[in-house]
Amino acid sequence: MLTRRKLIKRLSAVPLLGGLVGSALPLESALASEVAKVPARDVLKELGLRTFINAAGNYTAMTASIMPDEVLAAIQTSSQEYVMLEEVQDKVGEKIAALVHAEAAMVTAGCWSALVLGTAGVLTGMDQKKVSQLPRLEGTGMKSEVIVQKGHNTGYVHALTNTGVSIVEIETIEEAEKAINEKTAMMWFLNTASLLGKIQHAEWVALAKKHNIPTMIDIAADVPPVENLWKFNELGFDLVCISGGKAMRGPQSAGILMGKKELIAAARLSAPPRGGNIGRGMKVNKEEMIGMYVAVERFVNMDHVKERKMWDDRVAEIEGKLKTVAGVTTEMYLPPIANHVPTVKITWDNTKIKLTRKDLVENLRKGSPSIEVVPGGGDLPSIDVTVFMLKPGQDKIVVARIKEELTKALV
Ligand SMILES: *Cc1c(COP(=O)(O)O)cnc(C)c1O
C-alpha cells in the first residue's frame, strides 16, 4: 500500500510538484490544485459533435438544459471526497424538502425514476420482502391497480406499470367511485394533461382521501412558475414527481420525488445503494444529488421577475426584427402548463416566401452556428422559437439567421 510518506517522497521526485510539497500547503490541497491544472480538453470538438444554439426548449434529446456555474462548482467540489451515499441522500433530501415545503424528498434518476420509485414505495411500504417481490404482485398481498383519467393515460404511465401495476382508466367521478376497490393502490394525476381530464386537482385529492388512497402527481416540466414546486404538496398530493434537468437546470439525469415522509422512506428501499429491487439501475451519484440540491436552491431564490423580463426582451427583439419582412407574422404565446415560458410562433405566407417549415428548420440546423428550433403546427408554414435556453446575445444571432433565410426565399 502506498503510505502518505511514500506518496510525498514520490511526489517530491516529480520536478513540477516538488515545490508544492515543500510548501506549507497540506498535501490534499496540493493535489487538488494539481487536478485543477489539468489542461481543459474540448472533447465535444475532438469527437466532432455538433453543438448548437438551443432556440427549441427543454428537449431530452437535445440534452435539456445547461447547468449554471454554481451547480457545476458544487459537482466539481463534491467529487473530490468519499461520503456515504445514503447520508448524502438524507441531508440533500432534508434541504430540498424544506425548499419545496414537503415533509420529505429524495433525488431520483429523473422524473421517470421518481414515478417508478414512488409507486414502488406505495406498494411495498417498509416491507423488505415485498420490495424484493416487485414487479410480481400476484399472491404477495400487494395492491395492483392505479386509477388514471383517460386524458392522462399517456406513455408516461409506463413508469408506473414498471412496478407491476395495471392502469384502470376512468373519465368521471362516478366512474372513479365504481373503479375503486380493495386492489386500488394509488390515484395518479398528470399535471400537463389537466385540461384533457374532467376531474381537476382538488377533486382528485378529495376523492382519494375519502377512500384513503395515496395520490401521485407528475409535474415533470411544470416550473416555471416556481410556486409549482410547493403548490401540489400543499394541495394534498402524497407524492410529487419533477424533472431536475429541465427548467431548474440541475443535472439532466436527476429528478425529485417529494411528499409524505413514510412514502419517501419506502421508495428509498427500492433505490440504490440497495440491490435486489427494481430500482437498482436508477443510480444517482453524489455529484448529481449535490448538484440537484444547489440547482433547486438557486431556482427557488432567483429573481423570476427579472428572468421573465429578460425573456420578454428577447421576444421583443425577435418580433421587432421579423416584422420588417414581407409576408411574415409573429405571435408570442405561453404554453399553459408544461414549459410555461414565452415562445414566439413565426408564420409566413408561402405565396410570398417559398420555403417549407422543414427546409427552414434544416437550413438553420446546417448553418453556422447551428440553431435548433421547433417546426410549428397548423396549416400555414411556421416555426416556434423558445427563448429561455438561449445564452445572452444568442437571440440576436437566432433572429438574424431566421431573417436571412426568410428573406432569401422571398419571391
Ligand atoms: C420529461 C418528462 C418526464 C420524464 O422526466 P425525466 O426527468 O426525463 O425522467 C415525465 N413526465 C413528463 C410529463 C415529462 O415531461
- What is the DSSP code string of 111-152? HHHHHHHHHHHHHHTT-HHHHHHTT--TTTT---EEEEEGGG
Pocket residue to mutate for ligand 1, from 58, 60, 113, most atoms within 8 A of Cβ: 60
Give the tens place of pLDDT for each residue, 280-331. Answer: 999 999 999 999 999 999 999 999 999 999 999 999 999 999 999 999 999 9
Q: Can you tell me the distance from the alpha carbon of 8 to that of 16, in angstroms, rounded to the nearest whole number? A: 13
Pocket residue to mutate for ligand 1, from 113, 192, 243, 257, most atoms within 8 A of Cβ: 243
Overall fold of domain 69-301: Aspartate Aminotransferase; domain 2 (3.40.640)
Instruction: Find how far residue 162's CA is from the centre of its chain.
Output: 20
- Taking residues 50-57, report their average pLDDT: 98
Given pLDDT bands bounded at 50, 70 and 90, which one contains residue 388? very high
Given pLDDT bands bounded at 50, 70 and 90, which one contains residue 34? low
Q: Find residue 188's DSSP bridge partners.
A: 148, 216
Q: How far is the CA of 368 from the centre of ligand 1 (A)?
A: 31
Which own/partner contact pairs does 228-232 have at CB distance under 8 Å and 24+ positions apart? 229/99, 229/100, 229/101, 229/296, 229/299, 229/300, 230/100, 230/101, 230/102, 232/191, 232/201
Class of domain 304-408 as given by CATH: alpha beta
Given pLDDT bands bounded at 50, 70 and 90, which one contains residue 39? confident
Task: Please give the helix or strand (H or E) that residue 256 lies within, else none.
Answer: strand 255-259
Which own/partner contact pairs does 58-64 have at CB distance under 8 Å and 24+ positions apart? 58/221, 58/245, 58/246, 58/247, 58/339, 58/389, 60/252, 62/372, 63/252, 64/243, 64/245, 64/246, 64/252
The SS3 call for residue 24 is coil
Tell me what pLDDT residue 40 has: 86
Pocket residue to mutate for ligand 1, from 218, 242, 292, 340, most atoms within 8 A of Cβ: 218
Residues near ligand 1 (Cβ within 6 A): 60, 110-112, 156, 192, 218, 220-221, 243, 255, 338
Q: How far is the CA of 43 from the centre of ligand 1 (A)?
A: 28
> Contact 201/228 with Cβ under 8 angstroms?
no
Q: How far is the CA of 118 from the centre of ligand 1 (A)?
A: 14
- Taking residues 33-38, report their average pLDDT: 63
How many other CB atoms are found less than 10 A from the CB of residue 321? 18
**95 pLDDT more than 90:** yes
Tell me what pLDDT residue 28 has: 52
| Look-up of cell digits 411500504 | 125
Tell me what pLDDT residue 38 has: 79
Domains in the chain: boundaries: 69-301, 304-408
Cα dist from 234 to 14, 120, 373, whole Å: 59, 23, 36
Q: Comparing 18-22, 127-131, 212-216, 321-325, which segment has the lowest mean pLDDT?
A: 18-22
Name the pTM for this structure. 0.90
Q: Can you tell me the distance from the alpha carbon of 137 to that of 164, in angstroms, rounded to the nearest whole number? A: 6
Q: Give alpha helix (H) positions in 127-285.
A: 128-133, 157-161, 173-179, 201-210, 228-234, 261-268
Query: Would you report the helix, strand and coil content of the chain in percent, each value rounded to 5?
Result: 45, 15, 40
> Contact 397/320 with Cβ under 8 angstroms?
no
How many other CB atoms are found less than 10 A from the CB of residue 28? 10
Given pLDDT bands bounded at 50, 70 and 90, which one contains residue 15? very low
- Taking residues 193-199, report their average pLDDT: 97
- Taking residues 203-227, report their average pLDDT: 98
Q: Can you tell me the distance from the alpha carbon of 130 to that of 114, in angstroms, rounded to the nearest whole number? A: 19
* Nearest CA, atom 13, ligand 1: 220
Tell me what pLDDT residue 6 has: 52
* 69-301 against 304-408: fold identical: no
- Taking residues 209-218, report their average pLDDT: 98
Single-letter residue type at 245: G
Single-letter residue type at 386: T
Tell me what pLDDT residue 25 has: 47
Cell numbers for 273, please give them: 445503494
